[in-house]
Structure formats: structure tokens, C-alpha cells
Amino acid sequence: MKKIALLGSVIAFFAINTFAAENQELIKKAKEAGLEPIPSGKELRDYQLKKVKEIDLATGYNPKLTDAQIELGKKLYFDPRISSSNLISCNTCHNLALGGVDVVPVAIGEKWQKNPHHLNSPTVFNSVFNSVQFWDGRAHHLGDQAQGPIQNPVEMGAKPNLVVEKITSIPAYVDEFKKAYGNKVKIDFKLIADTIAMYETTLVTPSRYDDFLNGNPKALSKGEQEGLDIFIDKGCIACHNGINLGGTMQPFGVVKPYEFADVGDFKGDANGMVKVPTLRNIAETMPYFHNGQYWDVKDAIKEMGAIQLGISITDAEAKKIETFFGSLTGKKPLVIYPVLAPVTNKTPKPVF
């Protein structure tokens, strides 16, 4: 009996060590395939500061990602009064309680208008890791991106001078801008948008997947690791790579047309390139694709295999990749809804 028990222990020992070795091989394979973890600690702070400095280098208001700048950005992010109707905030379409999206196929804005191109709202979480912003990649920085929806007549519908007039009519906001940037600060539209962007740079969601890439083989289950391995082998990492598993511009419909290409008129940028959506928190950010036509991520996986890679991904393989995607659901930053200062008699009235 002792010999049998000893033999069992030896077998278990070798099995555990073999599994651990395989895990380390998969970590190495993932990194060699271009997958990167979210940086942490000082490295993350330096990354965020670099992105903030890229937003503005010339106007002199010295973005430093201070607590005051971030808190002010949060208030502006949640403030619906920036819109012409006083009803639409950044959080309306990029809801931090819903994975940073609105969970509808097409974005809805002022006067209940649908996006005219039938575009879906991308998640704001981890957007700091994108190389470009918007589906057509027309903005390279979050500050530039923030200016667009505010002015768009079917989103927030507010002209820059109206936004500035609203913010500067509220003494508490003026005081907070001075606290954030100094007494000589000039509150203009660009500064308002850039301040929103500073808050957005803090919306990162590290997950067990990052722990795995950082060397912890136990961070992912056996099923998740199997899904990751298939994800790499199928070639999904050709577009979904880097820190955000996306966020760069890539051709769309490489092998054959997307099934729902005629829903909306969006065809990408001038070269037919489309921003690759991040896969982080993908279990929470349905529906999928630029026009929000897939609700089941397994169907989206199979469609991508067909139109981008020219391969058939089976139901079983799609299910395993979906299992891996579960490890990309990250820890959200604590968000305490801000109390906003009241308007004054000088504040422009809402327009419907």
C-alpha cells in the first residue's frame, strides 16, 4: 500500500510540474504573439502621464494628472448640462456601470436621435491604451475625442462657446478649475475636453489575464488557458494584440464581406480601415462590431474567423475562446457619483 501511495505521489508531482511548465510555455507564447499586460504601479502612472502630455504641450495649463484635475474631469464626465438639452453626459453612452458602454446596437443622443451611421458606442474603459479613437481612427488622443461628441448635433449637440458659457457661469466650477490649474487658468473648450480625458485615462481594468502574463500560471483556469491557446493559434492576435487586445487600425472584411455590412453606411476610413475594438471586458460590452449586430460573442468570433482570417471556427472552438474572454473582465476603479454644483441665473437654459 505504501508503494502504491508513493507511486501516486510521484505521478501527481510530475503531473503538476508538467502542467506548470506548459503554463509557462503558454505565457511565453502569448508574449511572443504580441500580447502585453496592463502596466502597474509607477509604470502605469508614467504611461498615463505620457498620454496626458501628448494631449497638450503648448497651451500652458500643465496637465499633471493631479487629484484635483482627475476629480474635475470626473464631474465634467458625469455632467449632462454640458449637452444642449442638459440631458446627455459622456456617461450616457459610455456608462461606467455597464462596462463603459450603453448596451444598445446604435448610440442614441440628443432628441432621441440615432447615430446616422448606425455606429455602436465603444467602451471608455482602457481607452487610454488605444492608438486611435473613434471607429474611423480620426482622433489620436482622448482630448481630441472628447471634443467630438460634445459638438455633434446627434450626440450632445453643444457648440464650444455654449459649453464654456455654461461651465464658467457656475462659480464652483470656476473655483475647481483654478484649484486644478492655477488662478490664471483660461477656461476654454479644449481645456474642458482635455480635463475629461484626464479622468478617462484613469479608467483601466486589470484582470486575471494580466496576472497570467505577468508570470502567475494559476491566474487562469485550464479552460481559459486552452481558449487563449486557440485564440493565438487561430491568428486572432493579428489584430487583437498589444495591451488592449485591439485599439489599432486594421482592414475589415479582408477575406469576404461582413454579414451586416449594409446596416448603416460606415465603411471605415479613407483606406477602408476600422479601429479594432478592445477585447477587455468583452463579456460586458455587447452588442458587438461597429454597428452592434451580434449579441452572442461566439457568433462574433466565428464571423471574424470567416471574414478576417478565412477560416472556419467551430462552435466548440468559439466556446473555448469565449471562456478565455471571461478572464479579460477586469477590476473596475471605484466610482463615486459626483455631486454637481447648481446652475446660476447666468447659466444658459437647456434647449430641446
Is 239 one of the annotated binding-site residues?
A: yes
- Per residue in 212-267, pLDDT tens? 999 999 999 999 999 999 999 999 999 999 999 999 999 999 999 999 999 999 99
State whether CATH 1.10.760.10 applies to domain 41-200: yes
pLDDT at 352: 86
**Nearest one of 246, 224, 37 to 131, comparing CA atoms:** 246
Does 249 appear as a known binding residue?
A: no
What whole-number distance in Å separates Cα of residue 155 and Cα of residue 92? 10
Does the predicted TM-score (pTM) go above 0.75? yes
Q: Is the pLDDT of residue 13 over 90?
A: no
Q: Residue 298 and residue 80: Cα distance in Å, rounded?
A: 35
Query: What mean pLDDT is predicted for residues 68-95?
Result: 98
Q: Kindly list the domain boundaries of the chain, sorted by start residue.
A: 41-200, 206-328
Q: How confident is the model at residue 9 (pLDDT cuts 50, 70, 90)?
A: low
Q: Is 93 annotated as a binding residue?
A: yes
Residues annotated as catalytic are 155
Neighbours of 304 (CB within 10 A): 23
Question: Are 151 and 298 in contact, with CB atoms under 8 Å apart?
Answer: no
CATH second-level architecture of 206-328?
Orthogonal Bundle (1.10)
pLDDT one-digit tens code per residue, 83-127: 999 999 999 999 999 999 999 999 999 999 999 999 999 999 999
